[in-house]
Amino acid sequence: MATTTTTTQAAVQTFAIDKAHSEVLFQVRHLVTKVRGRFTSFNGTVVLDEEHPDRSSLNFVVAADSVDTSTADRDAHLRSADFFDVEHYPTLTFVSSTIEKKTGERYDVAGTLTIRGVSKPVTLPVVFLGFAKDPWGNVRAGFETEITINRKDFGLTWNAALETGGFLVGDEVKITVSFQAVRQ
Predicted confidence at residue 10, as pLDDT, reads 55
- H/E segment holding residue 2: helix 2-11
pLDDT tens, residue order, the chain (184 aa) = 444 433 344 589 999 999 999 999 999 988 878 999 999 999 999 999 988 999 999 999 999 999 999 999 999 999 999 999 999 999 999 999 999 999 989 999 999 999 999 999 999 999 999 999 999 999 999 999 999 999 999 999 988 887 877 788 899 999 999 999 999 9
Predicted confidence at residue 49, as pLDDT, reads 92
Residues in the chain: 184
95 CB-near residues (< 8 Å, 6+ apart): 58, 59, 60, 111, 112
Burial class of residue 17 in the structure, from the number of CB atoms within 10 Å of its CB (0-12 exposed, 13-18 middle, 19+ buried): buried
* H, E, C per residue of 73-104: HHHHHHHCCCCCCCCCCCEEEEEEEEEEEEEC
Q: How far is CA 92 from CA 65, 114, 138, in A?
A: 10, 6, 28
Predicted confidence at residue 161, as pLDDT, reads 83
Superfamily of domain 12-183: Lipid/polyisoprenoid-binding, YceI-like (2.40.128.110)
